[in-house]
Amino acid sequence: MKMTKATKGYRRIVPSLTALVEFEAVARLGSFTTAATELGVTQAAVSRQVRQLEETLGVRLFHRLHRSISLTGEGEALYLVVAESMQKIAGVFDRLATGVVERRELVLASTAPFSQLRLLPRLAKLKRMEPPLQLRLTTQMFTADLRHVEVDVAVRFGDGNWGDGTSTLLFDEEVFPVCSPSFLKEYKSPETLEDLSKLPLVQSDSTYEGWMDWEAWFRSVGYRPPRLDFVLRCSLYTDAVQAARYGQGVALGWGRLVHDLLVRGELVRLTSVTSRPTDAYFVVVPHGRSITPAVTQIIDWLRGEPACL
């Protein structure tokens, strides 16, 4: 075939595939040193390849700070394409090498409360879906940069604006007081917010992005109590929910998480007053990964619940 001026092979458009591989590692790991270790080469070699790539493109791909680096706008655009392409290539190699027709395992990341209170009770429904999907759950205390972890999809609570992935709205949330039926029988339902503030309250640390504690909840519904009586403080939200189940006090119920406990009667709403955060739950697919049919299947599975009680 005769080459014309309008015809360009990949080698003319992309001078160095090695440079792209090393650029992807640096961008994903956020470090020239760590990328060099992963690739089995020297840091100087990685820096040289990335610098040559920048010179070829005529743009800067990284902001090089004193002790850290970050992608420029041009670097982010290149990383999105390179990472997705490499993921697809790696997937084909893996299937050809192992003889597996299609990889069905999907790594889903979420916080421990979301995993324990919402995901695990719904696994049976996921197993009945077609085509079958093998799931691997990984829990995180805080929102981790998806470029630095092996995750196919993550569930996050926030405003949906994250720089490491593509966000899809899952559902909103509402927060209200909950307690055990035995606690309600003993203390009766409070008539006012002041009455509620005087009950034994179970506090959980607001360690997750956007999560509120009792003080923030009262402010959100227009009341500022002079003093709150915390019968128990918990660092984990799941512990606070368990304490409420066992009649120790009143906890804040995040409706999407305590829904099953309310349906089974293990928890009850103590008042109709509710707070509706502006943040919501999102499914986040890391840059470099596609929204595949398996990811769409996971989103449908996660959304399969009636409105909060």
Using one digit for the tens of pLDDT, what is the confidence trace for 214-260?
A: 999 999 999 998 888 899 999 889 999 999 999 999 999 999 999 99
The residues, ordered by sequence, that sit 6+ positions from 144 with a Cβ below 8 Å of its Cβ are 109
- Is 20 strand, coil or helix? helix
- CB within 8 Å of 161: residues ≥ 6 apart: 167
Domain with CATH 3.40.190.10 in the chain: 105-162+287-303, 175-269
pLDDT at 100 over 60: no
Structure tokens at 4: 């014309």
What does the pLDDT look like over 277-301, one tens digit per residue?
Answer: 999 999 998 887 778 888 888 888 8
Pairing, β 201-204 against β 230-234: parallel
Q: What is the mean pLDDT of residues 146-155?
A: 78
Q: Are 264 and 132 in contact (CB under 8 A)?
A: no
Helix/strand/coil for 159: coil
3-state secondary structure at position 71: strand
For 154, phi then psi, to 5°, come to: -130, 150
Among 158, 140, 114, residue whose Cα is nearest residue 281: 158
The whole-angstrom separation of Cα 91 and Cα 210 is 35
Which superfamily does CATH assign the domain made up of 175-269 to? Periplasmic binding protein-like II (3.40.190.10)
Cα–Cα distances in Å, from 141 out to 34, 45, 115, 150, 191?
Answer: 23, 36, 11, 16, 36
How many helices and strands in the chain, by DSSP H and E?
13, 12
Specify the pTM. 0.66
Share in percent of the chain as helix, strand, coil (round to 5): 45, 20, 35
Are 140 and 115 in contact, with CB atoms under 8 Å apart?
no
Greatest CA separation for the chain: 89
For residue 28, the one-letter residue type is R
Phi then psi dihedrals of residue 13, to 5 deg: -80, -40
The predicted-structure confidence for 158-198, as pLDDT tens digits, reads as follows 888 888 788 899 999 999 999 999 999 999 899 999 999 99
Rounded to whole angstroms, the Cα distance separating 74 from 60 reads: 7
The CATH-assigned architecture of domain 105-162+287-303 is 3-Layer(aba) Sandwich (3.40)
How far apart CA 309 and CA 272 sit, in angstroms, is: 10
Mean pLDDT over 108-127 rounds to 87
**Residue entry with tokens 């917010």:** 193
Residues of the chain with CATH 1.10.10.10: 10-98
| Residue 157 β-bridge partners | 281
Query: What would you report as the CA-atom Rg of the chain, rounded to the nearest whole angstrom?
Result: 25
Q: Which CATH number fits domain 10-98: 3.10.310.30, 1.10.10.10, 3.30.1490.270, 1.20.1260.10?
A: 1.10.10.10
Handedness of CA 39, 40, 46, 48 (dihedral sign): negative
pLDDT of residue 19: 86
CA distance 289 to 84: 5
Highest mean pLDDT among 12-21, 121-130, 203-212: 121-130
Q: For 24-50, what is each residue's pLDDT tens digit?
A: 888 888 889 988 898 899 999 989 999
